[in-house]
């Protein structure tokens, strides 16, 4: 009996590993290329933005789907240098930092575009101004420990707060891998965004957790749309 159980456990473990690998491959394929509002709806994706943090460098990668692709790395790191090298695509180096649910596909696409454009402005058009505001070491370089620079995540989080505020993206929910990352509440519009923690997960099962977040966001989005349609119908009946 113990031998049979051992064989069954090995078979189940092999099946699980194959499923995890398939999820990662599918996530990378979905992440390839830019997604319009219509693309997100057609692919049964939720109105979300995923923020992945590089464990080695501290850099942040934005994605419209629960996965990432080389296309996104190429598009978001346009002027790599010794302080901001183009990061590797290795999946073991990237951990989810924040999942942001938006009230509509229009909001999600606007937020993603805004985050990418702010990154481009900071890295290219306002490079000197951006560096002047960063914490420096004794030699005048952006502060770092090893190859890790905390400023990357700090700027990405500040950009997220700015985009939500600037575009007034109401009904936004941000889920953090650690709540302290969002900083002080005073930096966020309480009437636009709510904050919560991501569910606990093993890094090995990150893709599973992110897919569950997608499904939950889709259900919440469908519920919100139903409420809006019901309110519009009631308003139309009152007018009639």
Supply the pTM of this predicted model.
Answer: 0.85
Q: Residue 14's pLDDT band (boundaries 50, 70, 90)?
A: low
15 vs 162, residue with greater confidence: 162
pLDDT for 102: 97
Provide the b/e sequence for 180-203 (b: ≥16 CB within 10 Å).
Answer: ebbeeeeebeeebbebeebeebee
For residue 100, which phi and psi values (nearest 5 degrees)?
-115, 120
pLDDT at 17 over 80: no
CA distance 19 to 33: 24
More confident residue, 31 or 54: 54
**% residues pLDDT > 90 (the chain):** 66
């Amino acid at each position: 009996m113990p031998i049979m159980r051992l064989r069954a456990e090995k078979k189940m473990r092999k099946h699980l590993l194959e499923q995890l690998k398939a999820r990662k491959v599918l996530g990378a394929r979905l992440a390839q290329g830019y997604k319009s509002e219509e693309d997100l709806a057609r692919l049964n994706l939720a109105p979300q933005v995923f923020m992945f943090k590089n464990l080695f460098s501290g850099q942040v990668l934005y994605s419209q789907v629960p996965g990432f692709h080389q296309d996104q790395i190429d598009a978001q790191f346009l002027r790599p240098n010794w302080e901001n090298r183009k990061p590797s695509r290795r999946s073991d180096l990237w951990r989810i930092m924040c999942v942001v649910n938006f009230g509509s596909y229009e909001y999600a696409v606007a937020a993603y575009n805004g985050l990418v454009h702010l990154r481009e402005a900071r890295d290219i058009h306002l490079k000197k101004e951006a560096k002047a505001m960063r914490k420096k070491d004794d030699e005048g370089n952006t502060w770092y420990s090893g190859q890790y620079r905390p400023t990357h995540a700090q700027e990405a989080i500040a950009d997220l707060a700015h985009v939500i505020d600037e575009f007034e993206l109401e009904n936004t929910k941000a889920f953090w891998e650690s709540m302290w990352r969002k900083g002080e509440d005073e930096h966020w519009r309480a009437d636009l965004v709510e904050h919560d923690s991501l569910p606990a997960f093993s890094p090995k099962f990150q893709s599973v957790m992110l897919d569950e977040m997608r499904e939950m966001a889709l259900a919440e989005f469908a519920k919100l749309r139903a409420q809006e349609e019901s309110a519009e119908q009631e308003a139309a009946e009152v007018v009639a």
